[in-house]
Amino acid sequence: MPSALNRRALLLGGALAVTATCGFRRPASAQGAAAGPHTLPPLPYAPDANEAAIDARTMELHHGAHHRSYVNSLNEALREHSALQGMPLDELLAKLGQVPESVRTRVRNNGGGHANHSMFWEIMGGRGGEPSGELMQAIRRDFEGWDRFRERFEQASTGIFGSGWAFVTVDREGKLEIVQKPNQDTPLMEGKRVLMGNDVWEHAYYLRYQNRRAEYVRNWWNVLNWERIGERYAAARAGNLRI
């Protein structure tokens, strides 16, 4: 009798086999996506670029199946709401209270998933290390140093019960804060801006790590693109960061 972990791996592997033939740089429309204003962004690097933390098969499944599903479901939820279709994603999420109740939960879950994953792909593909410049200065100021920042972020990532995200938010003054969110919720729903965040849903790490979330979280630092995260920090301070 296979163990629960092995059964989970087989199920995920089967899902991957179904989606493995999908191209991950083609536009969403080429994949039979639901028509609408939101599209699946291409990965900004090859699926194996994050092997130091995340295997290529997980990247393909995560991007090509999970993220694609969020985009398609969001477009379907907005299909009969033309006013909402014209809203930028961050604005749509910040104004969830104005979204009709009949589709609000779908917009919350799938819009949040789209925003969170679009950010997630963008900040990886790097070689880890440490940030520099104004971002490092802000980390030292707001978290009592780099080591303390890493410790607190890892605690936030591993401490989420069930599925969710650990985020670092940034305001116009450059102040940083670590927050946890369940499911696909995002600080954008509170009008805040996200500097970076780690996905701790099981589908983000299960094929390689199974239930070893803490190991995944530790290794994730090795693939961060601090140059790109630094650009996000500057954009947030300038008021230009959207998702």
Residue 171 in any domain: the answer is yes
The CATH number covering residue 133 comes to 3.55.40.20
pLDDT at residue number 34:
65
Residue 147 in any domain: the answer is yes
DSSP label at residue 80: T
Q: Mean per-residue pLDDT for 6-21?
A: 42
Q: Considering the chain, what percentage of its residues have pLDDT values greater than 90?
A: 86
Residue 109 in any domain: the answer is yes
Residue 30 in any domain: the answer is no
How far apart (Å, rounded) are the C-alpha atoms in residues 26 and 16?
A: 18
Give pLDDT tens digits for 154-185: 999 999 999 999 999 999 999 999 999 999 99
Which residue has better confidence, 197 or 8? 197
> Among all chains, which residue has been given the structure tokens 């990532």?
157
Q: How many CA atoms lie within 13 A of 222 on its CB side?
A: 12
DSSP label at residue 185: -
Residue 26 in any domain: the answer is no
Token pair for 8: 């989970």
Instruction: State whether residue 164 is helix, strand or coil.
Output: strand
Q: Mean per-residue pLDDT for 9-25?
A: 39
Q: Tell whether pTM > 0.75.
A: yes
How far apart (Å, rounded) are the C-alpha atoms in residues 56 and 64?
A: 12
Give pLDDT tens digits for 121-149: 999 999 999 999 999 999 999 999 999 99
Residue 239 in any domain: the answer is yes
**pLDDT averaged over the chain?**
90
Q: Mean per-residue pLDDT for 217-223?
A: 98
Domains: count for the chain: 1
Instruction: State whether residue 57 is helix, strand or coil.
Output: helix
Q: Mean per-residue pLDDT for 42-69?
A: 98
The answer to whether residue 9 scores a pLDDT higher than 60 is no
Task: State which residues form the domain around 97.
Answer: 52-243
3-state helix, strand, coil in the chain (%, to 5): 60, 10, 35
Exposed, middle or buried by CB within 10 Å (0-12, 13-18, 19+), for 179?
Answer: middle
Residue 125 in any domain: the answer is yes
**Nearest in space to 121 (alpha carbons), one of 178, 71, 73, 49:** 49
How far apart (Å, rounded) are the C-alpha atoms in residues 123 and 167?
A: 12
DSSP label at residue 40: P
How far apart (Å, rounded) are the C-alpha atoms in residues 76 and 163?
A: 24
Contact between 113 and 70 (Cβ < 8 Å): yes
> Among all chains, which residue has been given the structure tokens 């940030």?
131
Sheet holding 176-182, edge to edge: 176-182, 164-170, 193-199
Residue 171 sits at φ, ψ, to 5 deg, of -105, 180
The answer to whether residue 2 scores a pLDDT higher than 80 is no
Give pLDDT tens digits for 73-119: 999 999 999 999 999 999 999 999 999 999 999 999 999 999 999 99
Residue 104 in any domain: the answer is yes
pLDDT at residue number 35:
81
**Poorest-pLDDT segment among 18-32, 158-172, 200-214:** 18-32
How far apart (Å, rounded) are the C-alpha atoms in residues 134 and 75?
A: 38
